[in-house]
Amino acid sequence: MTTIPSATPDGAPATGPVPVVLVDDHHMFRAGVRASLDPALVTVVGEADDVGSAVARVHELRPPVVLLDVHLPGGNGGGGAEVIQRCADVLGDVRFLALSVSDAAEDVVAVIRAGARGYVTKAISGPDLSAAVGQVAGGDAVFSPRLAGFVLDAFGTGAGDVAVHDDALDRLSAREPEVMRLIARGYTYREVASELFISIKTVETHVSAVLRKLQLSSRHELTRWAAQRRLL
């Protein structure tokens, strides 16, 4: 039986790489993900290839993070969303990160409504996926660029809404609101740097400043804060 390291109060492993269960119905894809993950950051402790086996493995191992394909055989035909729903009793301990070839709005919204903490496409690189696992284990929400917009639209924070001014915004520099919006939409530091033609180190500095000035502790809180004020 695989032993999962003890977790901190926020659900992340106390030390060492984050244990994950990898769920996908294609063996070759699972092998590829295993090979691409950074072993210093992530370790695959179990695998599953359909709804039923995924539910069983999650309950058996209770990993901090599950990498979950959206389209899976078995069960009642609900795919990844069904897996999350049938694991509702462990959602306090287990976080789901959807990993799918699909970038369709209905797929993204379905798994997020079910309880997933993020959604990335299979075009993601190994280093970025490893980092995303760590972020989800630490309580952040993670999305591939532009996919967060589907979620915000679905939950009533669409682009047509009128932004709500907050005095806290006045404390931000001219560049910081641009960085804030991209980070809140799920862009990685590297993607923000590319979008704004600045260095990754500069992005990190801006993010730290934004979180400090807005008195927030994580990217997940930043996304919620920005969405509530219709800033996305």
Q: Other CB atoms closer than 10 Å to residue 197's CB: what's the count?
A: 6
DSSP 143: E
Strand partners, 98: 68, 119
pLDDT tens-place string over residues 93-135: 999 999 988 888 788 888 888 889 888 988 889 999 999 999 8
**162 pLDDT more than 50:** no
C-alpha distances out from residue 1 to 4, 46, 60, Å: 10, 10, 9
Task: Provide the domain count of the chain.
Answer: 2
Higher-pLDDT residue of 147 and 53 is 53
Strand partners, 54: none
75 and 123 assigned to the same domain: yes
Cα(110)–Cα(70) distance, rounded to whole angstroms? 9
In a domain, 156, yes or no: no
Query: Residue 168 is part of a domain; what is its CATH number?
Result: 1.10.10.10
Query: Residue 98 is part of a domain; what is its CATH number?
Result: 3.40.50.2300
- What domain range includes position 127? 18-144
pLDDT at 33: 95
pLDDT at 177: 86
Higher-pLDDT residue of 15 and 17 is 17
pLDDT band at 156 (very low <50, low <70, confident <90, very high): low
67 and 101 assigned to the same domain: yes
40 and 81 assigned to the same domain: yes
